[in-house]
Structure formats: structure tokens, C-alpha cells
């Protein structure tokens, strides 16, 4: 299901929330259009957090450092350079 949900187009998720599908009711009356798009953004952020790409992990001076660090230290995230 996780992969299936990742492959859904944003518009598909929006449509199901808006119109309902089979046994899932429409949420258009409870959730505004803006909120429905915000939910999709939130779900996408959760999906990325569970399957980050090297690009997602590459930060500028953050705790994780450059892409590739995760694979060099038996899975351990190294300490940030300013760590005590
Ligand atoms: C706002 C949050 C929600 C989102 C973003 C969402 C999204 C979706 C999507 C995209 C699908 C379609 C999956 C597909 O096409 O295969 C789906 C199916 C379904 N959802 Fe939701 N859903 C939400 C809330 C809920 C809630 C609260 C319920 C239960 C009360 C529910 C019950 C269902 C059910 C039963 C299905 C299967 C419908 C079918 O047979 O196709 N959903 N949902």
C-alpha cells in the first residue's frame, strides 16, 4: 500500500477526499479545499521522511551532512561537526 499511495497523483488523492470513493465518504463538507491540498502536502512529507533520497538527506551543515554519510558508517549518523 505504501508504494501504491506514493504512486497516486496528487489529483487522485484530492479527488477521493472531495468526492469519496466506494465506502469512503466525501470530506468536502468538513475539510476546505485549501486544507485538502495541505493534507496532501503533509502526506507527501511523511512519505519522503520514510523513504528519503540522498538529495533529501543532503543538508548544508546540518546533523546528517552530505549525501553518502549514512552508507559509510555502518548505518550510524555521524555527529554534527559542532557537537561537543
Ligand atoms: C483526509 C484524510 C483522508 C485521505 C487523504 C484519504 C485518502 C484516500 C484515498 C486516496 C483513497 C483511494 C485509494 C485508491 O484509489 O486505491 C482512499 C480510500 C479509502 N478511504 Fe480514505 N482518506 C482519508 C480519510 C478517510 C477516513 C477518515 C476514512 C474512514 C472513515 C476513509 C476510508 C476509506 C476507505 C474505506 C477507502 C477504500 C475505498 C474503496 O473501496 O476504494 N478515508 N482514501
Tens of pLDDT, residue by residue over 47-72, are 999 999 998 888 766 555 555 555 54
Of 2 and 6, more confident = 6
Q: What is the pLDDT of residue 52?
A: 92
Q: pLDDT category, 79, cuts 50, 70, 90?
A: low
Q: Determine whether the shortest distance from the Cβ of 27 to ligand 1 is under 6 A.
A: yes
Residue nearest to atom 29 of ligand 1 (CA): 24
CA 57/CA 68 separation, integer angstroms? 9
Q: What is the pLDDT of residue 64?
A: 53
12-41 pLDDT, tens per residue?
999 999 999 999 999 999 999 999 999 999
Amino acid at each position: 500500500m505504501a508504494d501504491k499511495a506514493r504512486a497516486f497523483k496528487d489529483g487522485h488523492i484530492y479527488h477521493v477526499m472531495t468526492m469519496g470513493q466506494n465506502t469512503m465518504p466525501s470530506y468536502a463538507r468538513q475539510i476546505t479545499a485549501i486544507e485538502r491540498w495541505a493534507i496532501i502536502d503533509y502526506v507527501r512529507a511523511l512519505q519522503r521522511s520514510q523513504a528519503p533520497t540522498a538529495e533529501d538527506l543532503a543538508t548544508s551543515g546540518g546533523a546528517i551532512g552530505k549525501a553518502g554519510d549514512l552508507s559509510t558508517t555502518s548505518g550510524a549518523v555521524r555527529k554534527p561537526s559542532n557537537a561537543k
